[in-house]
Amino acid sequence: MREPRDYDDIPGTYVFDGEHSRKGYHLNMFCMSLNKAENRGRFRESEAAYLQRFPMTEEQRQAVLERDWLDMLRLGGNIYYTFKIAIFDGLTMQQAGAAMSGTGMSVEEFQQMMLDGGRPVKGNRSKADKSK
Amino acid sequence: MAKIIAGVGTSHVPAIGAAVDFGKQIEPYWQPFFEGIVPAREWIKEVKPDVCIIVYNDHASAFSLENISTFSIGVAPEFQPADEGYGPRKVPVVKGNSEFAWHIAESLILDEFDMTICNEMPVDHGLTVPLSVMYDQPDAWPCEVIPFCVNVIQYPPPTANRCYQLGKALRKAIDSYDRDITVAVFGTGGMSHQLQGERAGLVNKEFDIDFLDKLVSTPEELTKVSHTEFLRESGSEGIELIMWLIMRGAMDPEVEEKYRFYHIPVSNTAYGLTILENKA
């Protein structure tokens, strides 16, 4: 584990630093492969078989199969890469955003939150001090 | 000699590209946004830059984690729209300006900004959405484009100050190019937004407005904003705003803001647009 960093205090945020990138390299490169139509076809044919082509951890494969967006981030995924799976599924950013909120927020609730000015920064700046 | 005539700051939200491509501009959700960018479109029809240098970031399209370059410049005669997973956007091929791009690359490297030089580089929404914002849906883009790509995905991206200093070096490169062309520099991405994690959907209007104000009058203050402050205040993807500082660095110290438009939300993002011209 690397030394603690000041950004570790930001809630609900997975900073894609070196440690994260190292952990998620193969997961992210699998996601990247979905840029190619022929690979999207192979993944559609059999998700589990296609995932075997990449030296990912079993946990990472499971997170992809279950579309556990938060777990993918925890396991080293980067949103721009994991969003390729959301694109494959035909999801919008709002659908992915609602799913990641981790509070059971519906897509409609997420959309309404955005229309109302977005998720407020107040109370969401610091794990240590929720009043900030 | 080449002359810089403007700096443009704009978010590059992919949903804007989809709204243009699929004719959603008149839907109630999109109508205020497309109305807000009309003056920018009228402005660019007047000033008609010959070349737009578009500072943007790639989103796992041309670049991946295989090779991560901090600053890259596209020197090819043309750039194809990238397939980001939906099939490529049906927008015109982006025509480059190879000679000018090479001049910039050489000038920057000799000025100690070590650019990665790209001959093969499909361009994704980070570059094509700003073109759609400014030019709508032409049969061919009415300007040549030099893609100028910044890593903002792998932490750490370059510092705000490094971006601003690079902008100054870019200005020297533009000023020393021996052809009579007009140039606009685009800084793209932002404004506040977070796509990932439990904080997805974060928007910080106060931060954005302050950023837009300081971009005009006191950009040096923005060069002191740390990565952690960007991440905390403008969201993990709001850090893209460092790219606007490359544009600002290329402008004169004294600029006039010709137009500003700010709108929440565009998809999961606070949209911002600014047009800067040097004071005569």
Question: What ipTM does the predicted assembly reach?
Answer: 0.96
Lowest-confidence region among A10-14, A75-79, A85-89, A92-96: A92-96
Pairs of residues, one from chain A and one from chain B, whose beta carbons lie less than 8 Å apart = 152
Say yes or no: A30 and A70 in one domain: yes
Q: Residues of chain A with pLDDT > 90: what percent?
A: 93
Domain check: are A62 and A28 in the same one? yes
The answer to the question of residue A4 being in a domain is no
Provide the whole-model pTM. 0.97
Q: In terms of residue numbers, what domain contains A69?
A: 14-90
Closest CA to B106 of B155, B58, B67, B73: B73
Quick check: is B227 catalytic? Answer: no
- Which of 120-149 (B) contact A at CB < 8 A? none
Same domain flag for A58 and A114: no
> Cβ separation of B198 and A81 shorter than 8 Å?
no
- When pLDDT is cut at 50, 70 and 90, the band that residue B85 belongs to is confident
pLDDT digits (tens, 9 = 90+) for B152-197: 999 999 999 999 999 999 999 999 999 999 999 999 999 999 999 9
A86 in the same domain as A96: no
Distance from CA of B7 to the nearest CA of A (A): 27
Among the partner residues A10, A87, A93, nearest to B268 by beta-carbon distance: A93
- Is A129 among the domain residues? no
Q: What pLDDT score was predicted for residue B48? A: 98
For residue B125, give the CATH number of its domain: 3.40.830.10
In this predicted structure, the answer to whether residue A63 has a pLDDT above a threshold of 90 is: yes
If asked whether residues A19 and A76 sit together in one domain, one would say: yes
**pLDDT of residue A102 exceeding 90:** no
Together in a domain, A23 and A86: yes
| CA triple B113-B119-B120, angle to 5 deg | 120
Question: Count of domains in chain B?
Answer: 1
Residue ranges making up the domain that contains B223: 3-278
Q: What token pair was written down for B6?
A: 């403007």
Are A20 and A71 part of one and the same domain? yes
Clarify whether residues A20 and A79 are in a common domain. Answer: yes
- Asked if the Cβ–Cβ distance from B85 to A80 is below 8 Å, we say no
The chain A residue lying nearest B122, using CA atoms, is: A35
A73 within some domain: yes
Residue A2 pLDDT exceeds 90: no
Tell me, what's the pLDDT at B248? 98
What is the number of domains present in chain A?
Answer: 2
Residue B42, classified by CB atoms within 10 Å of its CB into exposed (0-12), middle (13-18) or buried (19+), is exposed
A98 and A85 within one domain: no
- Please indicate, yes or no, if residue A128 is contained in any of the structural domains: no
For residue range B200-253, list pLDDT tens digits in order: 999 999 999 999 999 999 999 999 999 999 999 999 999 999 999 999 999 999
Q: What is the pLDDT of residue B220?
A: 98
pLDDT above 80: residue A58: yes
- Whether A5 is covered by a domain: the verdict is no
Nearest to B202 among A25, A94, A119 (CB): A119
